[in-house]
Amino acid sequence: MRRKPPIVLGTKRKKRSPHPSHDSEKLVHQLRRSHEDLESRVQQRTAELLQNNQALEAEIVQRRQTEESRLCALRSVVETQEAERSRLARELHDEFSQKLAALGIGLKGLGDELPAQSPLQLRLAELLNIVDGLMRDMHTLVWKLRPPALDDLGLVDALRRYTGDWMKLSGIPVDFHSRGLGGRVLPPQLEITLYRIAQEALTNVFKHARATRVSILLEDNRNRAALIIEDDGRGFRVEQLSKDGADAQGHFGLIAMRERAALAGGALEIESTPGSGTTVFVRIPLSAQPRKGETGK
């Protein structure tokens, strides 16, 4: 006697589709449509990204051109200022200085002709003191406009002389050192840039830093002119330089120093902390400077 197969409760046999090939075609069609939709969205998004990227590149180019135009205009202004400074310095030195010297000689000659006991001798002595004071002031003004040593002796000797005069005026000791630039002739525009930055930095120290010492290092560091100026003054917060009121805080000179370094193709960095002094780093590639005889335009 055959046994009947056991009945399994809770299970149902799945019905097979009468048209399996039709379901497969439908699935393939859906997958194809999904793929086409995805490709369309990818292409649309790619086109949008490409358009945005082109717009961004155009904006970057425009900003770069605007910055280059600004630097070019600023460079022209600085070069015009330096040319005018040089012209005024020459006129003061060649004309005004000679006239003052002639006036002093004339007064001395007049004093020699007067009797020793003449009451005019005292007056002549006062006038000679005035002429001597004018001569000193004139030489100081010439140095501020365009130091002759910069043209005659070069940057190293000009800075050494200027720091010595500044030390006497301010009463603040200055340690000046030069390394790797002995006897090397730098491009005139680079020399005046570094000289003006050092001049402005020392002016800021005198006016704002309340320092007791200053150290300056000028060197040729891997074919880059490097100028480091450090003081032990009261310092400040560097982020104040980016504020609109920076000039009111006495930092406009530091911004001008950055502009000068940028015009020469270099960069200026400032490290400072309140109560811990300030250090100014200037680095300008020598390869970016025009050679002697080139205009740089």
In tens, the pLDDT along 35-73 reads 888 888 888 888 888 888 888 888 888 888 887 787 787
CATH number at residue 280: 3.30.565.10
The answer on pLDDT for 289 being more than 60 is: no
Instruction: Tell me the pLDDT tens digit for each residue of 13-24.
Output: 555 555 566 778
pLDDT band at 294 (very low <50, low <70, confident <90, very high): very low
Kindly state whether residue 10 falls inside one of the protein's structural domains. Answer: no
- Whether 263 and 190 map to the same domain: the answer is yes
Q: Considering the chain, what is the average pLDDT of its residues?
A: 81
**How far, in Å, CA of 154 to CA of 197, rounded?**
16
Confidence of residue 291 (pLDDT cuts 50, 70, 90): very low
Question: 158 with 177, same domain?
Answer: yes
Domain that holds residue 89: 34-146
Domain contains 15: no
Phi, psi dihedrals of residue 210, rounded to the nearest 5°: 55, 45
282 part of a folded domain: yes
Of 136-145, 174-183, 201-210, which has the strongest mean pLDDT? 201-210
Residues 110 and 157 grouped into a single domain: no
For residue range 258-282, what is the model confidence (pLDDT) as tens digits? 989 998 999 999 999 999 999 999 9
**What is the pLDDT at residue 7?**
53
Q: How many domains does the chain contain in total?
A: 2
Final residue in a domain of this structure, among 146, 178, 210? 146
- In angstroms, the CA 21 to CA 15 distance is 15
In this prediction, residue 284 has a pLDDT band, given cuts at 50, 70 and 90, of: very high
Give the percent of the chain with pLDDT over 90.
25
Q: What global pTM score does this model have? A: 0.63
What is the phi/psi pair of residue 23, to 5°?
A: -65, -40
> Which of 241, 237, 215, 243 has the alpha carbon at shortest distance from 227?
215
Note whether 159 and 174 are within 8 A (CB).
no
The pLDDT, as a whole number, for residue 245 is 47
Which carries the bigger pLDDT value, residue 199 or residue 184? 199
Q: Are 253 and 203 in contact (CB under 8 A)?
A: yes
Integer CA distances (angstroms), 273 to 205, 240, 264, in order:
14, 12, 27
Torsion of CA 294, 295, 296, 297, to 10 degrees: -130
Out of 58-62, 77-81, 173-177, 234-238, least confident range: 77-81
Highest mean pLDDT among 150-164, 166-180, 241-255: 166-180
For the stretch 109-130, pLDDT in tens is: 888 888 888 888 889 889 999 9
State the pLDDT at residue 228.
97
Owner of token pair 């002739």: 185
The pLDDT assigned to 238 comes to: 85
Q: How far apart are CA 15 and CA 272, in angstroms?
A: 83
11 lies in some domain:
no
Q: Which amino acid is at 181?
A: L
Domain assignment present for residue 26? The answer is no
Instruction: Average the pLDDT over 212-226 and give the result.
Output: 92
Length of the chain: 297
Which pLDDT score is estimated for 212?
A: 95
Residues 6+ apart with CB under 8 A from 279: 228, 229, 230, 231, 270, 271, 272
Does residue 2 lie in a domain region? no
Is the residue at 17 inside a domain? Answer: no
Q: pLDDT class for 90, splitting at 50, 70, 90? A: confident
Decide if 23 is inside a domain.
Answer: no
Residue 64 has φ and ψ, to the nearest 5°, of -65, -40
Q: Are residues 131 and 236 in the same domain?
A: no
Boundary residue ending a domain (79, 111, 146)? 146
- Does pLDDT of 293 surpass 50? no
